[in-house]
A and B are shown apart, each in its own frame.
Chain A
Amino acid sequence: MEQENNFQNVQEYPLPDELKFDWEEAEKDIVNEIRWHLKNTAAEKVVMGLSGGVDSSLALFLGVKAVGVENVVALFLPESGVTPDYDAQDAQDVARFLGVKLITKEISPLVSQFLLALPEIEGNQTALANVKARIRMILLYAVANSLGRAQVMGTSDKSELLLGYTTKYGDSGADFLPIGDLYKSQVRYMASKVGLPKRVWLKPPSPQLIKGKTAQSELGLPYEVLDRLLYYRVDQRYPEDVISRIVGLPLEVVKRYSDVVVRSDHKRKAPPIGKVGGATINIDWRMPIE
């Protein structure tokens, strides 16, 4: 945990200057959005997966604040041999901190069954990793359906969404994404400010789909750097060469991530519909969600 050593004495997550924001106001905004989303969709409960990571911990915090602890169902969905013990500990700590009863469902039997049915994917790390994320999604929706009047809360942040570092219909498969407009660094900062356990916002982010892999090892750069790059590209729409100079990365690197943002757009949208008539859904026929 290289970062933990660097930040051992900090009381809040050190946020790059560009990404500084009024977290208290943002907290109120998101809480209000969750509250009205449920009201407008005639739902009462929120179902979500708590991994012990910073995104789901903060989303749970906001969900509880919005609709109360009695209306939030948090599921910890570990995979034995892959999910590290400290994530289990952190998930428990966060749940206890928020007064939420944590339901634990082990997904390894489901993964094994899946491999029995489809042994061909065993050697394909990506395919298998996505299966795991989608198994979790299926479980969350099954719980939501069984409860009735429940919405599945996704916990993707802006960094993951922009980089397409999500599984389509897996972790990004949800009814609403409350923290999807906060970069990972901002999520970690807000988590530190609202008083979530320090280990949750200091540990290196990881989807824990493949044993031992962190987000940094898969993405190639730490979020502290990526978030600044994404901020200048997406929020400020700076050209790549200017970003390269500001962030201090080679131009090719900035271009590569900039391309990833564009190419992963399909993960953030509903699938395109082949046009035949004049009232094609989403193109012509446009309706609000709520």
Chain B
Amino acid sequence: MGDKAAGRVGGGNKPLNGRPLLDDRYMEPYGKVKVALAQVAPKMGDVEGNFGKIIDFVDRSVSQGADVVVFPELATAGYLSQGIFFDVAEKSNPNLVRVADAAKGISVVLGLVEEDDMGNLYNAAMVLRDGQIVKGKWMGKDVTSYRKLYLPTYGMFEESRWFAPGSSVPIYDLESKTGRFRAGVVICEDYWQPLSVRIAAMRGAQVVFAIASSPKTLQKPKMTHSLLVARAIENALYVVFVNQAGSQDMVNFWGGSEVIDFEGNSLVTAPLREEALVFADLDLYRERKYREVNPMLREERGEVIEDYARAFKEMREGYPRWNRRIIFKTSRNTHYRMS
């Protein structure tokens, strides 16, 4: 693609003595990516309406020259849809074709309900472009979706009731006007744990799309921002956070979508609670140069990851045994009996 790559800063697969050093299959690490953050407020039960809105936001992003438009988690359904999720899956297929057709020269990252051929539902994301599903890569194989790894089932969350979990982090090679870049997708709870973004980063992601349906509490925007900043800095990559807006069953979905760069700066922030479409330019050359002196991924060590896996196993098997709480309770009771 070399010559077509406008606005390139330098290096990379520039023809060397007229001979390309790398061919088109390799990513262009020096390009720019224009992302659109489509902060939509889906209406529960209105699948057609939700898809109509998605297509509208895709059209607007295309007209603004975006390379990628990112929608929130479960943008086709609304987050609290419960029993409606089955219908959403049923009604999605023809509508996904419409979105893919609308995605002319733009990659659409879409949070949706996916149903597999065994009847399992997934809280998933797909990338659509030029009438097709863009396939992700995992272990050399093509995959058609990213499936949420961590399904929160506590407090107000009951995702395990509706969805099966995914167990892998595929990677997407996507196009921008200046070349190709590599991206990962994570969904909401996935970035509350450190590993999903780290895995995407280790597989070469320069950008991670963190899509969410985050219900608002007074603390949540600040906590989420802190987490995303951590994910961006610890992996030295761009995090593109896109959250649902509006309110469902008197629960606010707080929006506040933002792009955070590898130094933890917010490049753009969408308004709280309201629907919005905002844009940001990612500079992958800047990211590359930043990584040279901040080699967060080079610093990762296999020994530590192995110990992580061991510690996890120990925790699950109940070792070391935590009995502090029992002692605490006993002493409290004793205290009151004595007093």
Contact between A288 and B332, CB atoms less than 8 A apart: no
A contact residues around B332 at 8 Å (CB): 239, 241-242
Quick check: is B216 within 8 A (CB to CB) of the other chain?
yes
B248 at the interface (CB under 8 A from A): yes
- A36 on interface, CB distance cutoff 8 Å: yes
Q: Which residue of the partner chain, among B80, B273, B329, B333, contacts A32 with CB atoms under 8 Å?
A: B273
Most chain B CB within a 10 A radius of its CB, from A33, A35, A178:
A33
Give the contact stretch, choosing among A23-31, A72-80, A97-105: A23-31
B252 touches A286 (CB 8 A): no
A147 to B329, CA, bound (A): 57
Given A285-B83, A288-B84, are A40 and B44 also a contact pair (CB < 8 Å)?
Answer: yes
* A285 / chain B contacts, CB cutoff of 8 Å: 83
- A1 interface contact, C-beta 8 A: no
Instruction: Map CB proximity to B onto A24-61 as digits: 1 under 8 Å, 0 otherwise.
Output: 01101100110111001000000000000000000000
Interface string of A248-287 (1 = CB under 8 A from B): 0001000000000000000000000000000000000111
Interface size on A, residues (CB 8 A): 25
In the assembled complex, the Cα of A285 lies from the Cα of B161 at a distance in Å of 12
A120 within 8 A of B: no
Kindly state whether residue B247 has any CB partner on chain A within 8 Å.
yes
Given A22-B218, A40-B44, is A287 in contact with B83 using a C-beta cutoff of 8 Å?
yes
* A26 and B218 within 8 A (CB): yes
B193 beta carbon closer than 8 Å to chain A: no
Return chain B residues, CB-CB under 8 Å to A21: 218
How many angstroms from the CA of A286 to the CA of B272 in the assembled complex? 29
A251 to B332, CA, bound (A): 12
With contact pairs A26-B218, A29-B216, A251-B336 given, residues A287 and B84 touching in the complex (Cβ less than 8 Å): yes
User: In the complex, which residues of chain A have a beta carbon less than 8 angstroms from the beta carbon of B246?
Assistant: 36
In the complex, A290 Cα to B251 Cα: how many Å? 11
A178 to B247, CA, bound (A): 13
**Complex-state Cα separation, A79 to B265, whole angstroms:** 60
**Binary interface encoding of chain B residues 250-294 relative to chain A, with 1 for a CB under 8 A from any of its CBs, else 0:** 111000000000000000000011000000000000000000000
Residue numbers in B under 8 Å from A116 (CB-CB): none
Q: List residues of chain B with CB within 8 A of the CB of A32.
A: 247, 252, 273
Query: Is B160 part of the contact surface with A, judged by Cβ < 8 Å?
Result: no
Report whether B336 and A241 are in contact in the complex, using a CB–CB cutoff of 8 Å: yes
B250 touches A37 (CB 8 A): yes
Q: Collect the chain A residues with CB atoms within 8 Å of residue B336's CB.
A: 241, 251
A176 and B82 within 8 A (CB): no
Taking a contact as CB atoms under 8 Å apart, the answer to whether A289 and B249 are in contact is: yes
The complex places the Cα of A289 from the Cα of B273 at a distance, in Å, of 20
Chain B residues 23-46 with CB under 8 Å of chain A are: 41, 43-45
What 0/1 pattern do residues 76 to 106 of B give for CB contact below 8 A with A?
0010111110000000000000000000000
Q: How far is the CA of A176 from the CA of B250 in the complex (A)?
A: 8
Which 5 pairs, one residue from A and one from B, show the smallest C-beta to C-beta distance?
Answer: A36-B247, A286-B82, A33-B250, A33-B247, A287-B83
- Of the A-B pairs whose beta carbons lie under 8 Å apart in the complex, a sample of 8, sorted by A's number, is A25-B218, A28-B272, A32-B273, A33-B250, A40-B43, A40-B248, A177-B250, A288-B45
